[in-house]
Amino acid sequence: APMLPVDTLLDRVKAASPGFVPDEMRYRNAGLRGASVQVWGHDARYMTRGKGFAVISPVTGEIANTDYLPGREGTWTGVVATFFALHFATFGGDVVRVCYFLLGIAGAFLFYSGNLLWIESRRRTERRNGGPVKQKTSTRLMSAATVGVCLGAICAISITIVAAKWLNGRVANIDVWHNGVYYAVFLASVLWSFLRGAAAASVELLWLAAIAAAAIPLTSLFSWASPALGMQGSASMAALGVDLVAFSAALCFVWMARSAAHRVEYGPADSVWAASHRQLQEAAR
């Protein structure tokens, strides 16, 4: 069956939702009487879970479904879309996204530092009660888990971003590689933390986090310098922002790694954050 021109189909969708901006069209059963096409796009006026779409017949031009078209959803779909928008910050533009980013960083730091402070405050309480302090196995495991999970997630995110740039155009399904690289690094970091102990792993994983974060802008520079390699490089403000944040994070991780190393060697010997040989010396007294 003959199909209507693309411009005609887009005009029909825009007539149904004037603020809708089409991004892509996905045809199904093209050329047949029962053909359909999904017109995907976005509309900044509404809170959505991501891109919305309308289903239209490319043969008749009739709009068949607007359940996922921003501003035209049903009640239940609209409620669900609102919750997704609040969770993923798909509303309000870049200002809201930056605020969400800062809130996310603050929440992650609060979780990490809160666990560390609780573990250390327990040691100080026992010390005031007459010590010496003998760290329980549960405390050591919690310390290792805190370091492995928190720093492992940071390392995994940075490394999967770097991997995406190198693997662009070289693998069939980049999403599968994203997940594989992330969980491989994350689980390896957690295992490393349990094997090495919280004190040693905190220093080592912080250095890994610094190297991984620095690799993001370095990979971007390499992709611009050698475009023949076909790596994913972009000079957009968003990409430059990611590189700048990653570089700043790398400097922070270097400072944290040096501070952690100093604490391991010169901090209280009965702390779970002290080097293992210093803990043994303290226990032998």
Q: Provide the residue ranges of all domains of the chain, joining segments of one domain with +.
A: 6-88, 93-284
Average pLDDT of span 171-193:
93
Tokens, residue 101: 């980013």
Q: What is the pLDDT of residue 157?
A: 95
Average pLDDT of span 211-228:
88
Mean pLDDT is lowest, of 145-149, 178-182, 218-222, 266-270, for 266-270
- Which residue has better confidence, 201 or 88? 201
Please provide the average confidence, as pLDDT, over all residues in the chain.
85
Q: What is the pLDDT of residue 283?
A: 46
Q: What is the pLDDT of residues 74-123, one digit of tens each?
A: 778 778 888 888 888 877 777 888 888 889 889 888 888 888 888 878 77
Percent of the chain with pLDDT over 70: 92
Average pLDDT of span 169-182:
87
Q: What is the pLDDT of residue 131?
A: 61
Cβ-Cβ contacts under 8 Å for 17 (sequence gap 6 or more): 43, 54, 66, 69, 70, 71, 72
Q: What is the pLDDT of residues 29-79, one digit of tens each?
A: 888 888 999 999 988 777 777 788 899 999 888 998 888 888 787 778 778
pTM of this structure: 0.72
Tell me the C-alpha distance between 42 and 21, whole Å: 5
CATH number among 3.30.70, 3.10.450, 1.10.1740, 3.40.50, domain 6-88: 3.10.450
Quick check: 68 and 107 in contact, CB under 8 A?
no
Q: What is the pLDDT of residue 266?
A: 84
Tell me the C-alpha distance between 208 and 206, whole Å: 5
